[in-house]
Amino acid sequence: MNVRLLGPWTLLVILQITLAVAVLANQPLYSANAASRPLSWDKYDEGLFTPLGNLSLLSETQFTSLKHPVYPHHGVRIKKTSFCDESVRAYTGYIDIQARHIFFYFFESRNDPDTDPVIFWTNGGPGCSSSLGLFMELGPCRISDANGTSVHPESWNQASNIFFVDQPIGVGFSYAEHGEAVSTTEEAAKDMAAFVFIFFEHFSFKNRPFHMAGESYAGRYVPVFAAEVYDQNNKLIDAGLTPINLTSVMIGNGITDFYHQLSSVFDMQCTFASVPPIMDIATCLKMKKIIPRCQKWVKKSCLDHFDEIDCGAAMGFCEGQLEGPFWSTGMNPYDISRECDGGLGENLCYPVTRFIRAYLDRPDVRSMLGVDPSLTTNFSSCSDEVGYAFVGKLDGFKNTQHYVAALLERGVRVLIYVGTYDWICNWVGNERWTLAMDNLKPWGTGKTNSRIGLTRSAMGLTFATIEGAGHMVPYDKPKESLELVKRWLEGKIF
């Protein structure tokens, strides 16, 4: 649940993979060259940067600090944390980048933590905490009432080790000193890549398949983060070390194509694309007439030649005309089949978020997790300050499609999965840019032959729907989402 109502700047640029696929075909292969190793690696050789080696060596009462000579300004503080699901080992800590400190959770796999792949998960917003993903969607425990956590049997750590990261700074338990802030995805990506390299250098994960995942605004985050990991692998190879085995990207109900997403809200409100039409005929006819005008204006001002003033004006007008009518309906933008419960604001139409906030505000819980005691304010699911900082830098209009195309060209698989009841990042807009691929076909569980949704796949890019799920697919359809992830991790084509 992460794309909130931040005006025109929350939408992303169009994703047209086929326009960028051939551009990067002649890139040179990496070559390891010991002579080019950074000087700081001499200290690594001298034993001053010896990898810790085993997570079991970590303390539960205090942080262990991890460093990496290639990233002298970055560090990781980590500790064991017994909570959530006592059957698996859990860890919490901070990524420290001088005055910036990013909080994370890490859970080992319930299956085989020594060999299973690793998933990096981030929620979106921009500005929403990944505690929503952990405690509401795919984590090993859920918080559904005032009693605290309960074990979640359909957690994605049934088949993988998994991180949940509160990024960028200012989100969740992440914080900064001296007024520092992050306001672009590219800047945040450098910190995320450094964290991955530091953690993997100290523990035995480098050869494991590594999957970067998220939902909503993660349609912007994750491709950029993954590209940074891929590019920074060059530093490890030049140092004679093993690179990260970046295997895939997984995006759930993502904003990956603002152009098609803008027009697709008409389909969701005025046709049977998901549920019966929720808008009156007169309003729908008005919306339908405005679509060609908006497509022409947005293409000229935002796509063909980006002009900050013109693009902002185009999106402001078109969002008002095409999205504005939805807000008078009282329906849940994350699940168009139901009314908004508890208000959009802090609750995001899901009252269960109150219990998550209450749990993370408990002093004993914060102490157990190792939350910095300087954080005395109440926990917030989403930060408006962070969201508006990204808006101010027009981050949502960067060319994310080029990152996705480059990853595909380099053999990194991409999964776009969408719940069919989501309105704000709906399946229609996500499906349209996949139309150049083969026809959709049903997919479901092998045991019962029951249908879960539709899928198509070509050239490393897979699109799949999960019928009856909203914006947060693992929340609405936990068994089906786990089936999807298991298949993806096994490298199966649906």
Q: Catalytic residue numbers?
A: 216, 422, 471
CA angle 354, 358, 362 (to 5 degrees): 170
Round to whole Å and give the CA distance between 148 and 131.
14
Round to whole Å and give the CA distance between 434 and 415.
11
Q: Cα dihedral sign for 361, 367, 368, 369? A: positive
Q: Which tokens sit at 93?
A: 């800590």
Q: Give the N- to C-terminal CA distance of the chain in Å, as an integer.
A: 25
- Looking at residue 138, what DSSP letter applies? I
Q: Which tokens sit at 448?
A: 């019962």
Q: Which tokens sit at 238?
A: 């030049």
How many CA within 13 A on the CB side of residue 379?
Answer: 27
Strand partners, 102: 95
Run of H or E including 101: strand 100-107
Long-range contacts of 17-24 (CB under 8 A, 24+ apart): 17/401, 17/404, 17/405, 17/408, 17/433, 17/459, 17/461, 18/436, 19/401, 19/405, 20/401, 20/402, 20/405, 20/406, 21/405, 21/408, 21/409, 21/459, 23/405, 24/405, 24/406, 24/409, 24/410
Round to whole Å and give the CA distance between 273 and 429.
11
